[in-house]
Structure 1
Amino acid sequence: MILEVLFPNRCIHCNRIIDPELLVCDLCFSQIHFTHYNYFENNPIKEKCSLLFPVENAFALIQFEKEGLSRKIIHDLKYRNREKTGKILADWTTDRLDFRDENPDLLVSVPLHPRKLRERGYNQLHLFTETLSEFYDIPFDHELVKRNHYSKAQALKDKKHRLESTHMFSITQSITGKHILLIDDVFTTGNTVSSIAWKILNAGDNRVSVLVMAEDV
């Protein structure tokens, strides 16, 4: 209680004091550009994925704008030690994503390399994924996919290097006949998601859907 008085939670956009469980104030929340995509129908993120690999369904929560509030939100999660932002984003997702009793079998998030995990202290997707898992009653597996090579953050790469296959992944266990919901933070070129999707698809008679926090527009 004393800490809340001395160090109150503030909106990451306008710095207004807000409830400890919030990320932005009501006024700034209205500035977030949610996609309003239908998970089961064609939408821009599904079309982009379809060009890279066979995808069942796809959903993006918000639009990632280089100078907008969405960028602050994602960077707050990834680079400012605010893991709880992942839970808030998951809560926003559950308000907007309905699986209509056609739940995927398993939630799988894009892994960090162990060195990157030690540096950051947490995987920015884990709490997000675990919150979704609890809400939808779908199991998750943080160990199914392994990142084999350490690389610098996507945000620090130019577009040419993002297109290169520098992120190499492997599947750590046998999996077949499953519908996997692959989860990532920002969909840019789709290279990372595509690399993992093909590993899952080639591992057995599996299907892949995609959920991202933000779609780069």
Structure 2
Amino acid sequence: MILDILFPNRCIQCNTIIDPELLVCGLCFSQIHFTHYNYFENNPVKEKCSLFFPVENAFSLIQFEEESLSRQIIHELKYRSRERIGKILAEWMIDRLDFRDDHPDLLVTVPLHPKKLRERGYNQLHLFTETLSEFYDIPFDHELVKRNHYSKAQALKDKKHRLKTTNTFSVTQPVSGKHILLIDDVFTTGNTVSSVAWEILNAGDNKVSVLVMAVDI
């Protein structure tokens, strides 16, 4: 309580004091560009994924535009040690994503390399995924896929180097006959998601759908 008084929670955009459970104030919330995609229909994420691998369904929560509040939210989550933002994004996702009667069998996160995980202290996808798992009653597996090579963040790479992800990932255990929802933070070139998806598809008779926090296409 004393800490809340001395260090109140503030909107990350305008610095207004807000409820401890919120991320932005009501006025700034209206500045977030949600995608309004339909998970079961063609949308920019699904269309881009389909160029690289057979994708069942795809969805993104927000647009990842230059100099936008959406981009700031993702950067706060990934680079400012604000892991709790993952739970808030999951709650926003729950308000907008309906699996109907076609729930995936398993939620799988794109992994960090162990060195990157030690540096950051957390995987920005884990709390997000675990919140979705609890609400939708779908199991998750953070260990199904591993990252084989250490590399700097995608956001810090130029476009040429973002395309180099050959043999970056591998599946750690047998998996077959599953509809897997692959979860990542930002969809840019689609190369990372594609690399993980092919590992899952090649592991057995699996189907892959994609869920990302933000899309930059």
Same fold (TM over 0.5): yes
Whole-angstrom distance in 1 between the partners of 2:167 and 2:192: 7
Indicate yes or no: 2:24 matched with 1:48: no
Q: Is the 8 A contact 2:166 2:195 kept in 1?
A: no
| In structure 1, C-alpha distance between the alignment counterparts of 2:32 and 2:165, rounded to whole Å | 32
Secondary structure of residue in 1 paired with 2:140:
coil
CA apart distance, 1:155 = 1.1
User: Who is 1:65 aligned against?
Assistant: 65
Structure 1: runs of 5+ lacking an equivalent: none
- Cα displacement (A) at 1:165: 2.1
Q: In 2, are the aligned partners of 1:184 and 1:212 still within 8 Å (CA)?
A: yes
Report if aligned partners of 1:177, 1:206 keep a CA contact under 8 Å in 2. yes
State yes or no: 1:209 paired with 2:209. yes
Question: Are 1:86 and 2:59 matched, yes or no?
Answer: no
What amino acid is aligned across from residue 196 of structure 1 in structure 2? V
CA deviation after TM superposition for structure 1 residue 101, in Å: 1.6
Confirm or deny that 1:130 pairs with 2:127: no
- Ranges of 4+ aligned residues in structure 1 off by more than 3 Å: none
CA 1:13–1:206: 2 relative to 1, 3 Å: same
For residues 39-78 of structure 1, what are the alpha-carbon distances to aligned partners after superposition, in whole Å with 9 as ceiling and x for unaligned? 0001111000000100000000000011100110000000
Match of 2:8 in 1: 8
Q: Which amino acid aligns with 2:185?
A: D
Structure 1 contact 151–167 (Cα < 8 Å) conserved: no
- The sequence identity of aligned pairs, in percent, is 84
Q: C-alpha separation between the residues in 2 aligned to 1:28 and 1:160?
A: 34
What's the TM-score once normalised by structure 1's chain length? 0.99
Give the letter for the 2:138 counterpart.
I
1:167–1:192: 8 Å Cα contact kept in structure 2?
no
Equivalent in the alignment of 1:103? 103
Q: Partner amino acid for 1:47?
A: E
Tell me the distance in 2 between the aligned counterparts of 1:185 and 1:79.
13
Q: Distance in 2 between matches of 1:172 and 1:165?
A: 18
Aligned to 1:180: 180
Q: Which letter does structure 1 place at the counterpart of 2:117?
A: L
The CA deviation at 1:166 is 5.5
Q: CA deviation at 1:79?
A: 0.3
For 1:22 and 1:139, how far apart are their aligned partners in 2? 27
Worse-matched range after superposition: 160-169 or 132-141: 160-169
Partner of residue 149, structure 1:
149
Q: Secondary structure at the match of 2:209?
A: strand
Any gaps of 5 or more consecutive residues in structure 2? none
Q: In structure 1, what is the equivalent of residue 171 of structure 2?
A: 171
**Aligned Cα RMSD in Å?**
0.8
- 8 Å CA contact 2:13, 2:69 repeated in 1: yes
Query: Residues 88-135 of structure 1, C-alpha deviation per residue, up to 9 Å, x if partnerless?
Result: 000000000000021000000100000000000000000000000000
Q: 1:163, CA displacement in angstroms?
A: 1.3
Distance 2:162 2:18 in 1: 37
Aligned to 2:21: 21
